[in-house]
Structure 1
Amino acid sequence: MASSFAHHIILGEVWVNILVSFADTIAEQSSLESEAKVVLESGWWNDHSNDTSQRCKWPGISCNPAGSITKIDLSGSQDGGNIPPGIGDPYALECIGLSSCDLSGELHPPLGNLTLLKFLDLSNNYINDHIPSDLGHLTNLQTLYLVDNQTKGSIPSEIGLLSNLVILDLDNNVLVGSIPSALGQLTNMETLSLDDNQLEGSIP
């Protein structure tokens, strides 16, 4: 009787492990499908969109061994268009390089979902949105370039939450208001550039 009971326990553990593995697989597939949707909606890879399973081989895309996108770098491509609203869906992204791509429009809040992001370069475009406070969620971010855009409004104090930030360049925009004292919390900062804006006060 005891042996039969132990047998049932072992079988139960096996099924639990199978179900957990299955759930992880479904979650992984869902994540990869979200990534495929984002890259398609961007319109930047229309010439390659017939087979999204090959997206890791598309120009400017790098993936990890699991097939998740870790890097998008199309700098200088001048493909134009807007930043895709779903750009925050590939949660494994560590690097986004979209400088000199003729981008316009908004910086969508889902960018704040990219908690693994270390490098974000959107410089030399036509982005005319406010800097979203959600960027304060990017606690692994080390480099942020928004230089040479039309970014408006104030610098959100949430930028002070980016404790790993080393470079922050917001030159040549239309930013207004006071420079937030929260920037003084960025103890790892090596380069802070806010020139050619309409900001008041001094750098903390």
Structure 2
Amino acid sequence: MIFQDPYASLNPRKTVLDLVGEPLLIHQRTPLAQRTERVAELLGQVGLPADAMRRYPHQFSGGQRQRICIARALSLNPKIIVADESVAALDVSIRAQVLELFEQLQREHRISYVFVSHDMSVIERVCHRVAVMYCGQIVEIGRRDRVLNQPQHPYTRRLLEAVPVPDVDRKRDFKALLKDIERHSPIHPKGFVPEPLRFDEVADDHFVAVREMA
């Protein structure tokens, strides 16, 4: 797991060696010498020097802290990493560097990402398949090019229309984006079970929720 806030997800009282090596200690009982060697290797993979393991989280920038979180996520050689808004807290230039790192690690380790984000430009760059969720349910899913270029569900279309456009002369009517969307409260009583959705395959590997089943 890689969390949104790289500072809040790192214990400020522990060194990078302790933080990145903790999964190795918990799951594999790896001795300190081997753990130190593995942490140095992981830091190298995310573009940090080996001596960084002796420092604390507050001594790093936001981008460096996120690299530490990525190194920790890689420590047990996972097949899948869940990245929850993992670049949302970074500025644009650092975000680009971290995304390049994600792509590089995916090529080297053949890792799959479950990449959670509201930033459509990030989704377009990182993801091969896209699932759009509304009120806790998937309403459209398919290949990236299909979902982003030919959206079928009203919420997907409004989501893409809400992407900021760098044009000061173009006024956006954000209230209009809420039209044609059935609104549901995300708050439900205990034991609530949502109605199952029926999906239509509108194209090859492109599915859209069309209505609730009775």
> More helix by proportion, 1 or 2?
2
Q: Which has the higher contact order (CA 8 A, sep 6+)?
A: 2
Q: The TM-score by the shorter chain falls in which range?
A: 0.3 to 0.5
* Superposition TM-score, scaled by structure 2 size: 0.32
